[in-house]
Structure 1
């Protein structure tokens, strides 16, 4: 399943050159052209899925192990102190290319603040109401 006009399908399948750091039968991992930090990588499935909700089970099961492998290699080779694994779904969440992909972003001591938010507050009643709304869709 590939989409002929999808740039990430073309990159993942080797039609467009990239700085590839890992490849297996299901994924190609490339360095991001607009990195948030040195070594920022994208995990691209070779098959097309618009977002996490359309991902097949086999791909979903494998993607986190690929992220862990890439993150561990980053820590050793780039001497970063940690890494973020980020996956955006929908425009409101920051998704700009509608081909499922995962960002693996190396984090360095004293580096810029990224992937952060101010914790909010919610009452027990509000949490219960929201939990019931979500649970209703899961049944």
Structure 2
């Protein structure tokens, strides 16, 4: 993928602040730090996002997350936790179309990052929720 910025980083053509690397992933500081220590875990295999992972690739990439997440959380004693975030497709705010997972350290409620969503469970009847469940279950063929 000659135009992919993450492929260029993996190949060493673009400098990065690498915090971890193995055969499957590279973890780098995000150049736009949402909070101090914001890290991207990037699959070395070029796949667009989670929707394109094989089971094998998912097992290899996601098995690295706990180790990297612990390092990101523990580097600063003020860090109280972290968010693990993956945006898949443009509608979900994916801006680089090479699979990557954000590890965003959290320091306090005013650290500049937040997730906010509204629940809409009350908008669905029990029957509608059962229909949604059944339709999703059909996809596990």
Q: TM-score over 0.5 for the alignment?
A: yes
Distance 1:41 1:101 in 2: 10
1:134 to 112, 118, 136: 136
Deviation at 1:113, TM superposition (A): 4.6
> Which residue matches 2:118?
118
Specify the SS of the correspondent of 2:94.
coil
Q: Counterparts in 2 of 1:20-99, with a 5 A limit?
A: 20-79=18-77, 80-99=79-98
CA contact (8 A) 2:81 2:106 kept: yes
Q: Please, what TM-score do these two structures have when normalized by structure 1?
A: 0.89
CA contact (8 A) 1:12 1:45 kept: no
Distance 2:48 2:23 in 1: 19
Distance 1:128 1:28 in 2: 41
Gaps of 5+ in 1: none
CA contact (8 A) 1:18 1:30 kept: yes
Aligned length: 137
Deviation at 1:14, TM superposition (A): 1.8
Q: Please, what TM-score do these two structures have when normalized by structure 2?
A: 0.88
Alpha-carbon RMSD across the aligned residues, in angstroms, is 1.5
